[in-house]
């Protein structure tokens, strides 16, 4: 691990903000490091207001999208709400379809089959629309690169409204409207929305034309918060407002489908991390193991008994997904070990029998293990399909662009992407991918980094600080939980390995006579020799709380030590 201490802001700026807010210098420093420099900005950060959301009509083509939907409704046209099979796609479809159905009946949903149709807008979906007299498709979390497919739909008299957040290609589809804040000609003030976030802006615009206020749309925010967490978009600006209020809905009055999932896991208060690791994998499991429509059915269900049955089915998919993911990860790791002599700047593995639904998870696991830009391929019909994952600081989407001569199609983000290629191009692609990455990556990026916000003393760690840090949540990209470093620590004499095979490290530290403070380091059991026998050590950690028999105590959540 590389420990990198973030630059400390100017002391004058720290003192000024601390005085304005009535907080200590450490809190002011943490805020400045997040770009918060004034009392007003701090107020918006700590108390996100729905009134701070931008006017949806600032998004390019929003007026055209709203006009076309209103015309479809006045002409009693059939509307098909189409979305990808992952969490962002299925929550988007649940959001827009349930909103439209609240006042207009001629609305249906369509999720492409991961195996039969693949990612994004599909010809099969367009044929389904034509065959069933749908004259308008609203595509969510996909479509911005579907130039040929939208042209195909136009020939059949089917119009498209696209709500996407992926980077557009060289040209845009000829749709009625292309809502995508990443369009170069779109001046919308915030361009980090997820697909469900763009869908929310659409219903916000539609609602405003019917006299609805933002308060009328609060019940939909549980879906938006889930998509924000699952899609790993920055928790800044509008995303922070939407995630903050969406979590409130999840914890106070969630939709029936979420209630059914939460009842299964017996969790009372969910953080954004819980949403990412508890709700999102279950929603995803439907599309990975069976069909994404099952997730939409659960998320739009209004009867708790029926939702409980749907949730039980999805739980089974999730258990199957976990088993498959473990099995394929082990096979992939064995394949890498066999080819050790080929080790370079990338990890690329392939087996034709691997389950397409879990290769993205496997790619993430391999990236965690070897810390290289990673691709996991499997057979998909006549082509090979892959999921790509990257390391912090390296744009894998751009790297794939540099290999486009060998790719049939690709799409995605900086850190996660998908692609297909012809089997005969696998060797050429693998060679080119290694070449592009080796020529463009900073070798330091191949060593995992822990970014440290501040050095801290044990005497300054107290419940008041913890209360303030909790208000920095929800955490996520560009607003991660603060990470601290402390030096000259000593274990109080009770450090031990805990858990299966003593995989985790449990300890209590003192520093200059202050403490002890308890701590836990998951998967750091092997570092026990560094802390026993009163050796001094340095540690990097975030602050958390441990609840035991009704007592809540401060706890260091150890990330690394040396």
Instruction: Please indicate, yes or no, whether residues 177 and 65 belong to a single structural domain of this protein.
Output: yes
Instruction: Please indicate, yes or no, whether residues 460 and 441 belong to a single structural domain of this protein.
Output: no
- Going by C-alpha positions, the residue among 298, 249, 300, 239 that lies closest to residue 270 is 249
Q: Where are the beta strands (DSSP E) in 132-211?
A: 134-140, 159-163, 177-179
The residue range of the domain holding 494 is 2-7+450-561
Q: Which residues contact 298 (CB under 8 A, 6 or more apart)?
A: 257, 260, 261, 283, 286, 307, 310, 311, 314
* Residue where a domain stops, chosen among 446, 476, 501: 446
Instruction: Please indicate, yes or no, whether residues 435 and 464 belong to a single structural domain of this protein.
Output: no
Instruction: Please indicate, yes or no, whether residues 485 and 439 belong to a single structural domain of this protein.
Output: no
Euclidean distance between CA atoms 33 and 475, whole angstroms: 14
User: Cα torsion at 296, 215, 195, 273 (round to 10°)?
Assistant: -80
| Backbone dihedral angles phi then psi of residue 507, each to the nearest 5 degrees | -160, 175
Instruction: Please indicate, yes or no, whether residues 370 and 454 belong to a single structural domain of this protein.
Output: no
Q: Which residues pair with 83 in a beta bridge?
A: 140
Half-sphere exposure of 149 (CA within 13 A, CB side): 21
The answer to whether the CB of 538 falls within 8 A of the CB of 486 is yes
* Residue where a domain stops, chosen among 446, 474, 505: 446
Q: Which residue has the tokens 């439209």?
A: 100
- Is residue 232, in this structure, part of any structural domain at all? no
What does the DSSP 8-state code read for residue 187?
Answer: -
Tokens found for residue 497: 């390995």
What does the DSSP 8-state code read for residue 59?
Answer: S
| Backbone dihedral angles phi then psi of residue 32, each to the nearest 5 degrees | -60, -35
Count up the domains in the chain and report the number: 3
State which H helix or E strand residue 518 sits in: strand 514-521
| Backbone dihedral angles phi then psi of residue 483, each to the nearest 5 degrees | -115, 130
The answer to whether the CB of 421 falls within 8 A of the CB of 408 is yes
R_g of the chain, CA atoms, integer Å:
25
- Is residue 275, in this structure, part of any structural domain at all? no
pTM here is: 0.90
Instruction: Please indicate, yes or no, whether residues 126 and 146 belong to a single structural domain of this protein.
Output: yes
Dump pLDDT digits (tens) for 28-64: 999 999 999 999 999 999 999 999 999 999 999 999 9
Indicate if the alpha-carbon torsion angle 230, 222, 473, 522 is positive or negative. negative
The answer to whether the CB of 173 falls within 8 A of the CB of 150 is yes
- Whichever domain contains 166, its CATH number is 3.90.1640.30
Helix ranges (H only) for 339-388 are 359-370
Instruction: Please indicate, yes or no, whether residues 359 and 430 belong to a single structural domain of this protein.
Output: yes
| Long-range Cβ contact pairs of 180-183 (< 8 A, separation 24 or more) | 180/144, 181/59, 182/144, 183/60
- Is residue 15, in this structure, part of any structural domain at all? no
The answer to whether the CB of 541 falls within 8 A of the CB of 519 is yes
Annotate 266-321 with DSSP letters as a single string. Answer: T-SS--HHHIIIIIHHHHHHHHHHT-THHHHHHHH---HHHHHHHHHHHHHHHHHH
Dump pLDDT digits (tens) for 154-178: 999 999 999 999 989 889 999 999 9
Instruction: Please indicate, yes or no, whether residues 132 and 168 belong to a single structural domain of this protein.
Output: yes
- Is residue 277, in this structure, part of any structural domain at all? no
Euclidean distance between CA atoms 130 and 109, whole angstroms: 14
- Whichever domain contains 389, its CATH number is 3.10.310.30
Instruction: Please indicate, yes or no, whether residues 429 and 508 belong to a single structural domain of this protein.
Output: no
Euclidean distance between CA atoms 427 and 418, whole angstroms: 18
The predicted pLDDT at position 488 comes to: 95
Tokens found for residue 94: 């649940």
Instruction: Please indicate, yes or no, whether residues 124 and 143 belong to a single structural domain of this protein.
Output: yes
Instruction: Please indicate, yes or no, whether residues 481 and 378 belong to a single structural domain of this protein.
Output: no
Q: Which residues contact 495 (CB under 8 A, 6 or more apart)?
A: 505, 506, 507, 508, 528, 531, 532
User: Cα torsion at 473, 222, 44, 187 (round to 10°)?
Assistant: 120
The predicted pLDDT at position 342 comes to: 56
Instruction: Please indicate, yes or no, whether residues 419 and 505 belong to a single structural domain of this protein.
Output: no
Residues in the chain where the model's pLDDT stays below 70:
341-342
- Is residue 159, in this structure, part of any structural domain at all? yes
- Whichever domain contains 495, its CATH number is 2.40.50.460
Tokens found for residue 203: 């219903």
Q: Which residues contact 273 (CB under 8 A, 6 or more apart)?
A: 229, 475
* Residue where a domain stops, chosen among 401, 428, 446: 446
- Is residue 225, in this structure, part of any structural domain at all? no
């Amino acid at each position: 691990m590389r420990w990198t201490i973030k630059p400390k802001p100017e002391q004058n700026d720290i003192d000024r903000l601390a005085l304005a807010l009535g907080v200590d210098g450490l809190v002011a420093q943490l805020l400045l490091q997040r770009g918060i420099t004034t009392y007003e900005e701090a107020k918006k950060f700590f108390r996100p207001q729905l009134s701070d959301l931008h006017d949806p009509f600032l998004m390019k083509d929003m007026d055209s999208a709203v006009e076309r939907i209103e015309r479809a409704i006045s002409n009693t046209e059939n509307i098909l709400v189409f979305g990808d099979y992952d969490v962002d796609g299925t929550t988007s479809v649940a959001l827009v379809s349930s909103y439209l159905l609240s006042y207009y009946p001629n609305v249906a949903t369509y999720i492409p089959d991961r195996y039969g149709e693949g990612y994004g807008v599909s010809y099969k979906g367009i044929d389904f629309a034509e065959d069933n007299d749908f004259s308008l498709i609203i595509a969510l979390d996909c479509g911005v690169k579907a130039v040929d497919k939208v042209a195909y739909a136009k020939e059949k008299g089917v119009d498209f409204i696209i709500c996407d957040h992926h980077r557009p290609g060289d040209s845009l589809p000829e749709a009625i409207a292309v809502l995508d804040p990443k369009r170069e000609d779109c001046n919308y003030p915030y361009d980090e929305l997820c697909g469900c976030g763009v869908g929310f802006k659409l219903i916000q615009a539609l609602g405003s034309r019917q006299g609805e206020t933002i308060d009328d749309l609060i019940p939909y925010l549980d879906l938006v918060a889930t998509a924000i967490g699952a899609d790993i978009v920055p928790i800044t600006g509008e995303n922070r407002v939407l995630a903050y209020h969406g979590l409130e809905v999840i914890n106070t009055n969630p939709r029936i489908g979420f209630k059914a999932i939460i009842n299964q896991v017996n969790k009372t208060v969910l953080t954004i991390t819980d949403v990412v690791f508890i709700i999102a994998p279950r929603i995803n499991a439907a599309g990975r193991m069976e069909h994404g429509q099952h997730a939409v059915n659960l998320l739009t269900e209004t009867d708790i008994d029926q939702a409980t049955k749907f949730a039980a089915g999805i739980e089974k998919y999730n258990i199957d997904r976990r088993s498959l993911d473990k099995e394929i990860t082990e096979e992939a790791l064995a394949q890498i070990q066999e080819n050790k002599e080929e080790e370079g700047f990338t990890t690329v593995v392939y087996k034709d029998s691997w389950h397409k639904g879990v290769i993205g998870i496997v790619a993430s696991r391999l990236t965690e293990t070897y810390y290289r830009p990673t691709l996991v391929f499997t057979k998909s019909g006549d082509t090979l399909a892959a999921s790509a994952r990257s390391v912090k600081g390296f744009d894998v989407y751009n790297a794939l662009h540099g290999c486009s001569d060998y790719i049939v199609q690709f799409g995605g983000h900086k850190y996660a992407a998908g692609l297909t290629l012809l089997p005969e191009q696998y060797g050429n692609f693998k060679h080119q991918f290694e070449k592009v990455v080796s020529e463009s990556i900073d070798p330091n990026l191949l060593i995992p980094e822990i970014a440290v916000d501040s050095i801290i003393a044990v005497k300054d760690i107290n419940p008041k600080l913890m209360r303030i840090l909790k208000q920095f949540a929800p955490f996520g990209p560009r607003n991660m939980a603060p990470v601290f470093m402390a030096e000259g620590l000593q274990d109080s004499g009770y450090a031990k390995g805990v858990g299966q095979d003593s995989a985790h490290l449990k300890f209590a530290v003192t520093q200059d006579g202050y403490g002890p403070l308890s701590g836990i380091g998951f998967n750091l059991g092997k570092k026990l020799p560094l802390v026993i026998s009163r050796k001094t050590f340095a540690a990097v950690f975030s602050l958390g709380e441990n609840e035991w028999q009704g007592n809540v105590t401060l706890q260091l959540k150890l990330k690394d030590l040396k």
